[in-house]
Amino acid sequence: MADENDDAERQAALERFRMMREETTDPLAARLIGDIINELEAGTTAAPKPGPRD
């Protein structure tokens, strides 16, 4: 259940950063926010869910 909560928090953070990137007028800030978004997206897709052990 903690994983579901972490995923929900990560998705909420992604949405906030996406909105910030759209609203910013500073190119450097937009680039840095884009890097944060990439890191968060990589964390959601690259982290395998633990399964049963043999």
Q: Domain-by-domain residue ranges, the chain? A: 15-45
pLDDT-derived band at 5, boundaries 50, 70, 90: confident
For residue 6, name the pLDDT band (cuts at 50, 70, 90).
Answer: confident
Q: Pick from 53, 20, 54: which is nearest to 37 by CA?
A: 20
N- to C-terminal Cα separation, the chain:
22
HSE at residue 41, side-chain half, CA atoms within 13 A, is: 10
Instruction: Say what the pLDDT of residue 38 is.
Output: 94
